[in-house]
Amino acid sequence: MRKIVFFMSVSLDGFIEGPDGDLDWHMVDDEVHTHFNEELAAMGAFVNGRITYDLMLESWPTADTDPWSTEPMREFARIWRDTPKIVYSRSRDYTDWNPTVIREVVPAQVAELKEKAGGDLALVGADIAASFRRHDLIDEYRLFVHPVVIGEGKRLFRTREPKFDLRLAETRAFGNGVVGLRYTR
Name the pLDDT band for 21 (thresholds 50, 70, 90). Answer: confident
- Total domains in the chain come to 1
Q: Is 60 among the domain residues?
A: yes
- Whether 183 is covered by a domain: the verdict is no
In a domain, 184, yes or no: no
- pLDDT over 80 at 151, yes or no: yes
- Report yes or no on 125 lying in a domain: yes
Asked if residue 96 has pLDDT above 90, the reply is no
Return the higher-pLDDT residue of 63 and 164.
63
Lowest mean pLDDT among 96-110, 112-126, 149-163: 149-163
Q: Is residue 103, in this structure, part of any structural domain at all?
A: yes
Q: For the residues of 56-108, what is the DSSP string, one character each?
A: HHHHTTTGGG-TT--HHHHHHHHHHHHS-EEEE-SS----TT-PEEESS--HH
Contacts 24+ apart (CB under 8 A), 40-44: 40/7, 40/76, 40/79, 40/83, 40/122, 41/79, 41/83, 42/119, 42/120, 43/5, 43/83, 43/119, 43/120, 43/121, 43/122, 44/2, 44/83, 44/84, 44/116, 44/118, 44/119, 44/120, 44/121
* pLDDT of 144 above 90: yes
Q: Could you tell me which of 79, 9, 84, 70 has the C-alpha nearest to residue 37?
A: 79
Instruction: Give the pLDDT band (50/70/90) at residue 180.
Output: very high
Question: 3-class SS at 32?
Answer: helix
Check whether 162 has a pLDDT greater than 80. Answer: no
Average pLDDT over residues 103-125: 96
Asked if residue 17 belongs to a domain, the reply is yes
Does residue 185 belong to any structural domain of this protein? no
Domain encompassing residue 143: 4-178
Q: Which CATH number do you get for residue 138?
A: 3.40.430.10
Order of all β-strands in the sheet with 100-102: 100-102, 85-88, 45-49, 121-124, 4-11, 140-146, 179-184, 167-173
- Is 122 inside any structural domain? yes
User: Is the predicted pLDDT of residue 92 greater than 90, yes or no?
Assistant: no
Three-state SS at 47: strand
